[in-house]
Amino acid sequence: MDRTFDAYLEELGKLDFSDMFNNDFLHTWDKTTDELRALYLVADALRNLRERNISTRIFDSGLAVSNFRDNSTRTRFSFASGTNLLGLQQQDLDESKSQVAHGETVRETATMISFMADVIGIRDDKFIGEGDAYMREVASSVEESWRDGILDHRPTLVSLQSDSDHPTQSSADLLYLINEFGGLDELRGKKVAVTWAYSPSYGKPLSCPQSLIMLLTRFGMNVSLAHPEGYDLMPELVERAGAYAAESGATFTKGTDMAAAFEGADIVIPKSWAPYAAMEKRTKLYAAGDAKGIDELEQQLLAQNATHQDWCCTRELMEKTANGQDTIYMHPLPADINGVSCEHGEVESEVFDAHREGLYKEASYKPYAVAAMIFLQKVKDPKAMLKALEERGVARWVSE
């Protein structure tokens, strides 16, 4: 028995999240507030069990297929870790080593890798519109193959980042805040600055800031979004974030002044991203195979970026926040740090160093976010199962 664990289960008992079973997790905005609350409770409960050395294996065998269409360390290890925690074996679909034929349909590949897959995790964040479309197609493909009796069960999907959302990252972010502030309801009324920051590279994904504004506003946090002129996010998501804020009784402001966004903030999350319009243009250039156009766009974006080197998270800026240097600074990592990874970047090294411990803790929740998504999709009565796992009491690591 563990009071904290019991409290998680008790809260879980008050929520309705039955639709998550046998479903996918593509965007936080596909989910109800109850479902998201359940996600954080299950993630914390799984962490609690693991930290008490209690095994949370619910699979005796089974595959967790990953498909990373872009390089990844953090998310790759989070997926490997979270699935291993539940007893699954990660199997990577490495498209470069695979015989995925020219013209082979998504449905075919998806079905071929799924005969013994319990979960499929996909990262596809490079081109506007494509990542989401690809994931939806994989999800509907395996659904169809299941209904046709080809698959004996339906592998569920987890988005490991698309062009619009990065739900395992923002869920890890929220789990970190929940644990720092002592509960989800403690976040209500807190001011968060989600701002652009300068980076010497270009074309960083929009999904990180979008994921944040879409999630934080739902739980009553006052979000100030700020970026230079022209660095807009996807307009429909910005609009929906405003609606979420209105619903939850919070505020959502947009501006082009980093300092104003930092003013009085309880949490700051400055990070580089590419302008939405430019990313749409890039997607079209790639589709047209226009190498010269892509190159010109890159040069133009780098030049445009370079005019905004003042968008940096400095000690001076931190002074404007609610708790000065002690205000929570967050980043999905790796960050572009002045004088460390580049001359000018997203953050001064003094600020980064002072918040290193918190940043690493933030990242530590991602494997649990992954595991909780899968747990909720694969277990009919998660509350009862968590209790049963505690009672079963199998040691994860027999050290004595």
Binding of a second copy by 182 (CB under 8 A): no
Q: Binding string to a second copy for residues 325 to 354, with x set by CB under 8 A, is what?
A: --------xx-xx--xxx------------
- Give the closest residue to 327 by CA, choosing from 266, 384, 262: 266
- How far apart are the C-alpha atoms of 234 and 164, rounded to whole Å? 8
* Distances from the Cα of 79 to the Cα of 35, 64, 96, 338, angstroms: 21, 9, 20, 30
Interface positions, 193-222, toward a second copy (CB under 8 A): none
Are 386 and 9 in contact by the 8 Å Cβ rule? The answer is: yes
Q: Please identify, using beta-carbon distances, which residue of 51 and 295 lies nearer to a second copy.
A: 51
How many Cα atoms sit within 13 Å of 390 on the Cβ side? 20
Smaller CB separation from a second copy, 52 or 188 = 52
CB 382 within 8 A of CB 41: no
Spatial separation of the C-alpha atoms in residues 392 and 49, rounded to whole Å: 11
**Residue 140 binds a second copy (CB under 8 A):** no
Among 246, 291, 303, 395, binds a second copy (CB under 8 A): 395
Residues 67-96 that bind a second copy (CB under 8 A): 68, 71-74, 76-78, 80-82, 84-87, 89-91, 93
**Between residue 141 and residue 160, which ones bind a second copy under the rule CB under 8 A?**
145, 148-152
* Minimum distance from residue 319 beta carbon to a second copy (Å): 25
DSSP string, 235-284: HHHHHHHHHHHHHHT--EEEES-HHHHHTT-SEEEEE----HHHHHHHHH
Query: Which residue among 379, 383, 386, 390 contacts a second copy (CB under 8 A)?
Result: 379
Instruction: Report how many residues bind a second copy under the rule CB under 8 A.
Output: 82
Min dist CB 73 to a second copy, Å, is 4
Per CB under 8 A, contacts with a second copy among 241-280 are none
Range in contact with a second copy (rule: CB under 8 A) among 9-17, 50-58, 204-212, 277-285 = 50-58
